[in-house]
């Protein structure tokens, strides 16, 4: 490590630098302090060097498509503007064939992954969700199915009467290869009650991922920040993920998701600051020492801040996406997707090496 000691660095920050340099894990108090410090440059450099030890200058992306079979949802989470009630204007539930027709309009041979999430639609049986994956897998067998959140999996157990493991095994038979990271929000039951997160609770979210990892399904995980939670809530969220990773080693990437306002015309005071976004990415890298990648999600923080985040601990910029809907329904002002060429340009513009990957971070092409 070659972290510069800033003349303004206080004793507490120096202690944290020493811990990181010596491979000593940061605790709750350390994480909260890092949110409170105004020494952003030392924090960023510390996270950058932690990332360089893991990944060098490589930054990963994937050619993928985001697919949404249904926006009908039984839950009424306070932060969600994607969901609809059955029969409400704008609600929809697509069949497997209808989704195939949509994909065929936009598909090209470079796409390696379908990122599939949607509403908790209790007007259709569990078999609908199985058949949805099966139809895609049969039509596009070369494309990896990264499908459903842990909250959706818990929902499937309730409408099917099956256990978590049984649900996952049925989905695996249909072609499931990985779970998305959504549904975590903030891993605090008090937060979930206040924000009306009437879906999987903390223990259920973690148990779904634990079970998936035990079945050989590697997964992604998220944290939705920027509403009512405290800095300590965020740090405790990260530590719960870190503890499960110690147990299973099944998480591939941690994705901090910056909360979006429901109104696209909302002013800057209703959005997270760039300062807060960079801090959260850097702190995530330092707290989650056992997860290989932290993602800078350009859909939520924008392409240019994503470039800066690559010097604050991020090693992944997600993918081409094509027609992202959930964050944009909630007021995101960013592009709905980027091309491969644009992602390569974005990463190279930050002085990093773009690496096209598959779902499991196997390298497809390195753009030297």
Tens of pLDDT, residues 184-223: 999 999 999 999 888 899 999 999 999 999 999 999 999 9
User: 80 among the known binding-site residues?
Assistant: yes
SS3 80: coil
Quick one: pLDDT at residue 332? 42
Q: Average pLDDT for residues 10-22, to the nearest whole number?
A: 94
- The predicted-structure confidence for 273-291, as pLDDT tens digits, reads as follows 999 999 999 999 999 999 9
Average pLDDT, the chain: 90
Proportion of the chain above pLDDT 70, given as a percent: 90
Both tokens of 157, joined, read 């157990």
What is the predicted pLDDT for the residue at 1?
47
Chain centroid, CA 90 distance in Å: 26
Query: Does 79 carry a binding-site annotation?
Result: yes
Nearest by Cα to 244 from 218, 273, 278: 218
Q: CA-CA distance, 297 to 305, in Å (whole number)?
A: 10
pLDDT of residue 337: 62
Neighbours of 50 (CB within 10 A): 21
pLDDT-based confidence at residue 270 (cuts at 50, 70, 90): low
Task: To the nearest 10°, report the CA torsion of 324, 328, 333, 335.
Answer: 10
pLDDT in tens, 56-98: 999 999 999 999 989 998 887 777 777 888 989 989 999 999 9
Asked if the 41-362 domain carries CATH number 1.10.510.10, the reply is: no
Please state the rounded mean pLDDT for residues 296-319: 94
Residue 73 among known ligand-binding residues: yes
Residue 328's pLDDT is 39
**Please, what is the end-to-end C-alpha distance for the chain in angstroms?**
25
Residue 272 CA, chain-centre distance (Å), reads 17
Q: What is the pLDDT of residue 334?
A: 45
Residues listed for the chain: 368
| Least confident residue range of 65-69, 146-150, 163-167, 251-255 | 65-69
At 220, is the secondary structure helix, strand, or coil? strand
| pLDDT band for position 35 (cuts 50, 70, 90) | very high
Which one, of 354, 366, 277, 363, lies nearest residue 315 by Cα? Answer: 354
Give the pLDDT of residue 264: 59
pLDDT at 74: 85
Strands of 353-357's sheet in order across: 316-319, 58-62, 353-357, 363-366
Q: Which residue has the tokens 């801040």?
A: 305
**Does the pLDDT at position 168 exceed 90?**
yes
Cα-flanking dihedrals φ and ψ of residue 195, to 5°? -95, 10
Tell me: the pLDDT tens digits for 313-349? 999 999 886 644 444 344 444 455 688 898 999 999 9
Residue 8 has pLDDT above 70, yes or no: no
Q: Is the pLDDT of residue 2 over 70?
A: no
Q: Between these two residues, 334 and 7, which has the higher pLDDT value?
A: 7
Half-sphere exposure of 254 (CA within 13 A, CB side): 30
CA dist 208 and 212 (Å) reads 6
Q: What pLDDT does 54 receive?
A: 97
**Which pTM does this prediction carry?**
0.91
């Amino acid at each position: 490590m070659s972290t510069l000691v800033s003349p303004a660095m206080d004793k507490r920050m120096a202690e944290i630098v020493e811990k990181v340099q010596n491979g000593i894990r940061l605790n709750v108090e350390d994480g909260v302090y890092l949110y409170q410090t105004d020494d952003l440059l030392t924090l960023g450099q510390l996270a950058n060097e932690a990332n360089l030890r893991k990944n060098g200058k490589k930054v990963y992306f994937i050619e993928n498509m985001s697919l949404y079979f249904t926006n009908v949802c039984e839950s009424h989470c306070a932060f969600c503007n994607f969901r609809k009630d059955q029969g409400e204007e704008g609600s929809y539930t697509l069949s497997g064939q209808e989704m195939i027709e949509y994909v065929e309009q936009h598909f090209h041979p470079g796409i390696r992954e379908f990122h599939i999430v949607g509403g908790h639609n209790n007007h259709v049986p569990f078999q609908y969700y199985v058949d949805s994956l099966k139809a895609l897998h049969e039509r596009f067998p070369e494309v990896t199915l990264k499908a459903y959140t842990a909250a959706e999996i818990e929902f499937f157990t309730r409408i099917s009467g099956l256990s978590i493991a049984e649900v996952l095994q049925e989905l695996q038979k249909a072609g499931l290869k990985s779970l998305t990271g959504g549904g975590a929000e903030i891993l605090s039951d008090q937060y979930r009650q206040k924000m009306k997160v009437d879906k999987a609770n903390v223990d259920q979210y973690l148990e779904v991922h634990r079970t998936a990892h035990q079945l050989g399904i590697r997964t992604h995980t998220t944290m939705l920040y920027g509403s009512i939670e405290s800095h300590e809530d965020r740090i405790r969220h990260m530590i719960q993920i870190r503890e499960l990773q110690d147990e299973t080693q099944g998480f591939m990437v941690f994705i901090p998701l910056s909360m979006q306002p429901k109104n696209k015309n909302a002013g800057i005071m209703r959005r997270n600051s760039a300062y807060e976004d960079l801090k959260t990415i850097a702190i995530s890298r330092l707290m989650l020492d056992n997860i290989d990648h932290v993602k800078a999600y350009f859909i939520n923080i924008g392409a240019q801040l994503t470039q800066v985040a690559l010097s604050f601990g991020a090693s992944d910029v997600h993918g081409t996406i094509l027609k992202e809907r959930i964050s944009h329904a909630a007021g995101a002002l960013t592009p709905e997707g980027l091309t491969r060429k644009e992602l390569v340009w974005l990463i190279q513009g930050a002085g990093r090496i773009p690496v096209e990957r598959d779902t499991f971070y196997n390298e497809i092409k390195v753009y030297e």
